[in-house]
């Protein structure tokens, strides 16, 4: 098989009109060429669902929590999932994270088909490639903040040295935990506990961090601090965050909001504000059919993009 040829796309800089060349003079082509494959490459996808359906129960008691969902989440971005109670947002997150199994369809983490992994492989995937931030913190009360942060490394047998030590120091500095590392959870405020939980979720440098209502147990000031740290972890540390929330203000910290209704993708908001998120949620409540025109939200979901 002959190797594929590289195709190039010209990119030219604006220039002053050139003087006509004299006969016999030498001309130089200053066009800069970029590989077309690089110029047109789509952003990397951290996680995606294809035809994802989840049904709880059987027969007349069956509940379709997700209904043929196609959605993709860009790597290195902060995405919020929103929708009315019972819309399927938590179910979607649990399936993406490998915490629950699908009735049909597929879930991919990067190029890995999560839906066909056995129990041992799923355990390794959740340990090595996925981080979690929960509403209730889930810190071990007998451990210090430092010990809670490094627990995933202990479980994986990874020493705190070299690049890992540098990453730990970066997280501690970014999250403002330097003076709290020897404190146990009972000696920390709610916001500080959640920051420890975020550091624990990030310490193994997972492909994706899933945050389930991370500000649900916090006051507004502590919640804003936690959301700012999540956004900084994406913009400054290059992480990928997928957050479930019911709060439009929290969702506005994200780069993108995916709206769900009745187990289906209902809208997609880029560069959200609290006002645009509220408008999207109001539009869902006013429509009988939750699959709405993307103009109400700025764009339709780019499923599988």
More confident residue, 220 or 4: 220
Mean pLDDT over residues 82-102, rounded? 92
The strand pairing partners of 9, in sequence order, are 34
Q: How far apart are CA 161 and CA 167, in angstroms?
A: 9
Mean pLDDT over residues 220-236, rounded? 92
- Tell me the average pLDDT of the chain: 84
Mean pLDDT over residues 145-158, rounded? 94
Query: In terms of DSSP bridges, do strands 8-11 and 32-35 run parallel, antiparallel, or are they unpaired?
Result: antiparallel
Q: How far apart are CA 226 and CA 304, in angstroms?
A: 30
Mean pLDDT over residues 152-159, rounded? 92
CATH of 75-101+115-296, one of 3.40.50.2300, 3.40.50.300, 3.40.1030.10, 3.90.470.10: 3.40.50.300
- In this structure, what DSSP letter does residue 3 have? P
Q: How far apart are CA 173 and CA 127, in angstroms?
A: 24
pLDDT, position 129? 93
**pLDDT surpasses 70 at 299:** no
Query: In terms of DSSP bridges, do strands 208-212 and 78-82 run parallel, antiparallel, or are they unpaired?
Result: unpaired
Q: Which of 1-5, 21-25, 148-152 has the lowest mean pLDDT?
A: 1-5
* Alpha helices, H only, 207-287: 220-235, 248-251, 274-286
Mean pLDDT over residues 202-213, rounded? 94
In the chain, % of residues over pLDDT 90: 67
pLDDT, position 198? 93
pLDDT, position 42? 65
pLDDT, position 24? 54
pLDDT, position 153? 94
Q: How far apart are CA 113 and CA 208, in angstroms?
A: 15
Mean pLDDT over residues 265-275, rounded? 94
The helix-helix angle for 220-235 and 163-174 (nearest 10°) equals 140
For residues 63 and 57, is the Cβ–Cβ distance under 8 A?
A: yes
Strands of the sheet containing 264-270, edge to edge, are: 130-134, 208-212, 241-244, 78-82, 256-261, 264-270
* Model confidence pLDDT, tens digit, residues 160-186: 999 999 999 999 998 999 999 999 999
* Whether the predicted model's global pTM rises above the 0.85 cut: no
The token pair that represents 270 in the structure block = 């880029």
The token pair that represents 8 in the structure block = 């190039």
- Domains of the chain, residue spans: 75-101+115-296
* Model confidence pLDDT, tens digit, residues 14-55: 555 555 555 555 555 555 555 555 445 567 999 999 999 999
pLDDT, position 85? 85
């Amino acid at each position: 098989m002959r190797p594929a040829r590289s195709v190039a796309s010209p990119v030219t800089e604006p220039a002053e009109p050139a003087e006509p060349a004299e006969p016999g003079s030498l001309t130089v082509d200053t066009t800069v060429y970029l590989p077309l494959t690089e110029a047109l490459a789509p952003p990397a996808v951290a996680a995606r669902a294809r035809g994802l359906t989840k049904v709880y129960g059987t027969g007349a008691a069956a509940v379709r929590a997700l209904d043929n969902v196609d959605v993709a989440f860009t790597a290195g971005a902060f995405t919020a999932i929103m929708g009315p109670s019972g819309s399927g947002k938590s179910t979607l997150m649990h399936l993406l994270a490998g915490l629950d199994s699908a009735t049909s369809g597929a879930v991919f983490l990067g190029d890995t088909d999560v839906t066909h992994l056995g129990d041992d492989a799923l355990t390794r995937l959740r340990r090595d490639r996925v981080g979690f931030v929960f509403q209730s913190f889930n810190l071990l009360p007998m451990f210090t903040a430092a010990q809670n942060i490094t627990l995933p490394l202990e479980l994986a047998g990874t020493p705190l040295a070299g690049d890992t030590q540098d990453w730990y120091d970066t997280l501690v500095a970014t999250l403002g935990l330097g003076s709290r590392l020897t404190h146990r959870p009972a000696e920390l405020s709610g916001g500080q506990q959640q920051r420890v939980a975020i550091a624990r979720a990030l310490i193994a440098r997972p492909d994706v961090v899933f945050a389930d209502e991370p500000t649900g147990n916090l006051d507004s000031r502590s919640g804003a601090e936690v959301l700012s740290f999540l956004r900084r972890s994406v913009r400054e540390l290059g992480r990928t965050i997928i957050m479930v929330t019911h709060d439009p203000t929290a969702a506005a910290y994200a780069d993108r909001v995916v709206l769900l209704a009745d187990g289906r993708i209902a809208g997609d908001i880029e560069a959200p504000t609290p006002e645009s998120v509220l408008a999207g949620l109001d539009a869902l409540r006013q429509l009988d059919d939750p699959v709405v025109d993307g103009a109400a939200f700025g764009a339709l979901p780019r499923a599988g993009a």
